[in-house]
Amino acid sequence: MTAATILDKPLGFALTEEQILIRDAVREIAQGEFAPRAYEVDKNHRFPRENWDLMGQSDLLGLPFPEEYGGSGMDHVSYSLAVEELAKACATTSVIYSAHVSLCASPIFIFGTQEQKQKWLVPMCQGKKMGAFALSEPGSGSDAAAAKCTAVLNGDHFILNNSKNWITNGIEADYYLVIAQTDSKLKHKGLVALIVEKGAPGFTFGKLEDKLGIKGSSTCQINFEDTPVPVANMLGQIGDGFKVAMVTLDGGRIGIASQAVGIAQGAIDHAMKYAKERVAFNQTINQFQAIQFMLAEMQTNVDAARLLTHNACVAQDRGEKFSPLAAQAKLYASEVAMATTVKCVQIFGGYGYVTDYPVERYMRDAKITEIYEGTSEVQRLVIAASVLK
Ligand code: CAA
């Protein structure tokens, strides 16, 4: 079930046959398997391990990486379509997926040596290992350079101390890309990017966060107490950590924009169906112009958000600078997702406010897209820096 969008009859921006195949294949899995359990996953705050396993069996977990690393060699428009389809069915599953691909596998692919890619990227693409990204801290989110997690070089190891917050895939992941400070006097130029494996000495988990939405995804604090991490686990050099984080987030923001598009489209699809069934004043409510205008406006906004998102993907695939395009896509798509899901709840009236229908879940899930991987305010900063140059 999905509403017709301009991308079904594109004007000048046609999806390739391969992209349509990926989209339809992910749609089938997501609608057939993930949508039916999304309510229960949300209600029980349950990490849907079976969804992860099925994504692995369906070769989705290495979608945008070359086949030599166990990936499928698809472009980022395909990746965006996959995230959108997952989010349309189950936002929890889409963030498990995008954190793994965009925030951990992708920086290993971009910055890793051949040896590092063979060691970590291959099992991640095969679905044998799950990735996570650890940048934010209890005392720093938007100000990413203010990290207080320390990495002190001691022979052929770094010794990690302190905590990282809001870690998506929290206790479920196997590999954590951790950004830590080697010398606080150097600020962002002292940061280092390290792959820390689950089970490392002194590496422990804090409490699972009780979130407003994406409740099935595991989010927790991670703590390091004299945790030794081999120098061989460093991506790039000492001092490259901030760049690794920023480049990672550029790609991650496309993932979140795609997630926001999927959440918004999913909510509209439910609202369209409901509006065709619900009778008031002797007619179905889709015959009222008030409802028609809401749906028309919402679909227009979502199609615009999708086009901005694909625009950033195309720039990324061409190897062009796409940081401000990713910020535009994330800013616009996340704000559209929030506004759209609020309106969809309105179309359902009282039924939108209870869990009999899924739109309240979409509204709760939408909010985080305006916050994680850079708030809307941070996206505006990135866009402003680009347009004012
Ligand atoms: N690519 C490469 N380099 C970049 C870059 C990019 N996109 N952006 C900045 N840089 C470089 C700059 O060129 C500069 O380099 P030099 O020092 O060599 O000149 C350096 O990084 C510092 O740049 P700024 O002065 O612009 O940095 P800043 O400290 O002012 O920060 C910011 C800018 C945009 C606010 C940045 O800190 C930021 O993006 N903050 C938000 C962080 C964020 O998104 N956190 C979310 C964490 S992940 C998450 O949400 C959890 C999850 O699991 C989903």
Residue nearest to atom 40 of ligand 1 (CA): 142
Substitution site in 106, 143, 208, 246 for ligand 1 pocket (most atoms within 8 Å of beta carbon)? 246
pLDDT for residue 11 is more than 50 = no
Look at residue 250 and tell me whether its pLDDT is greater than 90.
yes
Q: How far is CA 58 from CA 25, 125, 172, in A?
A: 9, 11, 20
For 292-327, the pLDDT digits (tens) are 999 999 999 999 999 999 999 999 999 999 999 999
- If you average pLDDT over every residue of the chain, what do you get? 96
Distance separating alpha carbons of residues 247 and 259, to the nearest angstrom: 19
246 Cα: distance to centroid of ligand 1 (angstroms): 5
Domains assigned to the chain? 3-130 (1.10.540.10), 132-240 (2.40.110.10), 242-388 (1.20.140.10)
Q: What is the pLDDT of residue 9?
A: 46
Structure tokens at 279: 């009778």
Residue 164 · residue 237 · CB < 8 Å: no
pLDDT digits (tens, 9 = 90+) for 206-233: 989 999 999 999 999 999 999 999 999 9
- Extract the tokens encoding 166: 């809001």
pTM: 0.96
Q: Ligand 1 mean position to 8 CA, how many Å?
A: 36
d(CA 93, CA 116): 27
Which run of H or of E encompasses 343? helix 323-348
Q: Which residues line ligand 1 (CB under 6 A)?
A: 99, 103, 133, 135-136, 141-142, 144-145, 166-168, 188, 242-243, 246-247, 249-250, 323, 372-374, 378, 381-382
Asked about 33 being catalytic, the answer comes back as: no
- Give, for ligand 1, the residue of 186, 221, 242, 369 to mutate: max count of ligand atoms closer than 8 Å to Cβ: 242
Nearest atom (ligand 1) to Cα of 144: 37
Say which amino acid occupies 91: A
Rounded Cα–Cα distance for residues 264 and 74 (Å): 25
Residue 210 carries which side chain, given as an amino acid letter? D
CB 210 within 8 A of CB 45: yes
pLDDT more than 70, % of the chain? 97
Which atom of ligand 1 lies at the shortest distance from residue 371's CA?
Answer: 50
